[in-house]
Chains A and B, each alone.
Chain A
Amino acid sequence: DVKVTQSSRYLVKRTGEKVFLECVQDMDHENMFWYRQDPGLGLRLIYFSYDVKMKEKGDIPEGYSVSREKKERFSLILESASTNQTSMYLCASSLGAGGPFSQPQHFGDGTRLSIL
Chain B
Amino acid sequence: GDSVTQMEGPVTLSEEAFLTINCTYTATGYPSLFWYVQYPGEGLQLLLKATKADDKGSNKGFEATYRKETTSFHLEKGSVQVSDSAVYFCALILNRDDKIIFGKGTRLHILP
Residues of chain A having any CB pair with chain B under 8 Å: 4, 40-43, 45, 90, 92, 98-102, 104-110
Q: Which of B11-19, B21-29, B60-68, B88-96 contacts A (4 or more CB under 8 A)?
A: B88-96
Q: B111 within 8 Å of A by Cβ?
A: no
Q: Known contacts being A104-B34, A106-B46, is A40 close to B95, with CB within 8 Å?
A: no
Q: Are B95 and A98 in contact (CB under 8 A)?
A: yes
How many chain B residues touch A (CB < 8 A): the figure is 21
B28-46 vs A, CB cutoff 8 Å, 1 = contact: the mask equals 0000101010000111111
Partner among A41, A92, A101, A106 whose Cβ is within 8 Å of the Cβ of B93:
A101
Cα distance A109–B41 when bound, in Å?
Answer: 7
* Chain B residues, CB < 8 A from A107: 36, 43-45
Is the contact region of chain B dominated by helix, strand, or loop, or is it mixed?
strand
CB of A54 to closest CB in B, whole Å: 13
**How far is it, in angstroms, between the C-alpha of A101 and the C-alpha of B43 when the chains are bound?**
18
Chain B residue numbers with a CB within 8 Å of A43 are 44, 89, 102
List residues of B (84-109) whose CB comes within 8 Å of A's CBs: 89, 93-95, 98-100, 102-105
What B residues does A110 contact at CB under 8 A?
42-43
Given known pairs A42-B104, A43-B102, A105-B100, the reply for A90 and B44 (CB within 8 Å) is yes
